[in-house]
Amino acid sequence: MFSNNEHNPPHFHAQYQNFNAVFDMDGELIKGEMPKKQIKLISAWAEIHRDELLANWELAITDQPLYKIDPLK
């Protein structure tokens, strides 16, 4: 997620090796490409951290610093 006047709908960006993708807050791939295994991991992570993602989205659209969200372990 970038804090540079993001636009709707709420989303976050994910990178893995040479893959770049955009996911909605439910962890659904909406743009780009990502291996299936990583999509499943990202979706699980988004489900666990949905409230944090939405809080960060609100910060991003008002150009405030974002909170760090723990990775999937």
pTM, to two decimals: 0.83
- The answer to whether 3 and 64 have CB atoms below 8 angstroms apart is yes
- Residue 3 confidence (pLDDT): 44
Please report, in tens digits, the pLDDT of each residue of the chain (73 residues total): 554 455 678 999 999 999 999 999 999 999 999 999 999 999 999 999 999 999 999 998 888 999 999 987 7
Instruction: Say how many domains are in the chain.
Output: 1
- Residue 49 confidence (pLDDT): 96
Please enumerate, as own/partner, the contacts of 11-18 that have beta carbons within 8 Å and a separation of 24 or more: 12/46, 12/53, 14/38, 14/42
Q: Which residue range(s) make up the domain with 31?
A: 1-73
Closest CA to 3 of 69, 67, 64: 64
